[in-house]
Amino acid sequence: MEGSVANEPELSALRRALLAWYDQNGREMPWRQRGGSLPDPYHVLVSEAMLQQTQVATVIPYFNRFIRELPTLAALAAAPEQQVLRLWQGLGYYTRARSLRAAAVAVLQHFGGTLPRTAEELRQLPGVGPYTAGAIASIAFNQPAAILDGNVARVLSRLWRVTEPIDQPAVRARLWELAQASVDPQRPGDFNQAVMDLGALVCTPKAPACLTCPLYAQCAAAQAGEAEALPARLPRKAPRAVTHLVLALHRRDTWLLERRPARGMWANLWQFPTSEDEVPHLVGWALAHLGLKVAAPAHLGGFTQQTTHRTIRFEVHQAQVIGGRLRPKAGVWRKLGELQDLPMANPQQHVAQLLRNARARG
Ligand code: SF4
């Protein structure tokens, strides 16, 4: 069975064991339905967008708030992007929020307001890749579609003892084939969710609990004593270290916030003026970038943010504006207690907190 699809009897036993385990141990989630009924497809769409790169426990409160405020696909399509970003604030990877809203608009424009049922059609929507399409098709519409993300790839690579690095495209393609061959034709959504739950609860990255796993008898890696060693991966490139210089500018008790460009990281979110180059003189940078003359900046502190490819050191300074004229549309002035309607990524929220702390200390 190593690296190949098992014959039908083995697959049937695997599906039965996994689904029986899921019926007893599957996790409760607000977007899930148990006992044979299908969930609201819109809830599945929103939850799957939020779950990319994010843990279930983090997603649950965001999901509940999102559905309370935007209860239908039509409400999401009609919502301003800034409202959607505000609901997403703190979840990170904001492209997901913009794509989710764009997907809702596309469903209204091209599919008569109803989410399509098949993975092929779902993939036509913005931000919906093969994983999300398979998840929605199987969970919301009971279609026999496969899913494959890091969690599922780990389980499958162990189950079928795929020993080549799973980040190679050819190996990835083979894992998709295995996922498609494995999915239960009667209960595809439950099967996929069962694999996800097994990966989260039992077949964990560092300490798979093989001896209590419902798939132990079918698992090639467990039988070979190699579960912890899989999946194999190619060596990763070290993240690039960069420094961002924040210059928080105030005029009496109001602070300048600027909007980030519409493309790139943290697109369209708000920030205290920030130079992503290590400029030698922040006073000169403020004049050139914003048109403002500022007093000598004071260093408030620093912190580090890890992103997928970069380790970003934020060095935070504050300075008083003493003259000049703010360039048109360069930003808005706000009190620190009035930032709620300006969606900001986590590092900039951290800057706001540093400023509040400094103010509180006087
Ligand atoms: Fe994962 Fe171990 Fe279960 Fe195999 S037996 S699926 S390695 S937990």
Q: What is the 3-state secondary structure (H, E, C) of 37-102?
A: CCCCHHHHHHHHHHHCCCCHHHHHHHHHHHHHHCCCHHHHHHCCHHHHHHHHCCCCCCHHHHHHHH
Ligand 1 touching residue 73 (CB < 6 A) = no
Ligand 1 touching residue 195 (CB < 6 A) = no
Q: Supply the pTM of this predicted model.
A: 0.81
Report CA(136)–ligand 1 centroid distance (Å): 26
Ligand 1 touching residue 156 (CB < 6 A) = no
Q: What pLDDT, on a 0 to 100 scale, did the predictor assign at position 1?
A: 43
CA separation for the pair 252, 271 (Å, rounded): 19
Q: What pLDDT, on a 0 to 100 scale, did the predictor assign at position 5?
A: 56
Q: What pLDDT, on a 0 to 100 scale, did the predictor assign at position 4?
A: 55
DSSP one-letter string for 236-300 = PPPPEEEEEEEEEEEETTEEEEEEPPSSSTTTT-EES-EESS--S-HHHHHHHHHSEEEPPPEEE
**pLDDT tens string for the chain (362 positions)?**
455 555 555 899 999 999 999 999 999 999 998 877 899 999 999 999 999 989 999 999 999 999 999 999 999 999 999 999 999 999 988 999 999 999 999 999 999 999 999 999 999 999 999 999 999 999 999 999 999 999 999 999 999 999 999 999 999 999 999 999 999 999 999 999 999 999 999 999 999 999 999 999 999 999 999 999 999 999 888 899 999 999 999 999 999 999 999 888 899 999 999 999 888 899 999 999 999 999 999 999 999 999 888 999 999 999 999 999 999 989 999 999 999 889 999 999 999 999 999 988 87
Please tell me the residue having the least CA distance from ligand 1 atom 1.
Answer: 203
Task: Please give the structure tokens belonging to residue 174.
Answer: 């083979």
- For residue 212, which amino acid is it? T
Question: Pick from 346, 292, 354: which is nearest to 91 by CA?
Answer: 346
Which of 25, 151, 215, 218 best tests ligand 1's pocket when mutated (most atoms within 8 Å of CB)? 215
What tens digit of pLDDT does each residue of 210-238 get? 999 999 999 999 999 999 999 999 988 88
Chain mean position to CA 205: 19
Q: What pLDDT, on a 0 to 100 scale, did the predictor assign at position 308?
A: 80
Which of 216, 218, 228 best tests ligand 1's pocket when mutated (most atoms within 8 Å of CB)? 216
Chain mean position to CA 69: 20
Active-site residue, selected from the candidate residues 2, 48, 120, 276: 48
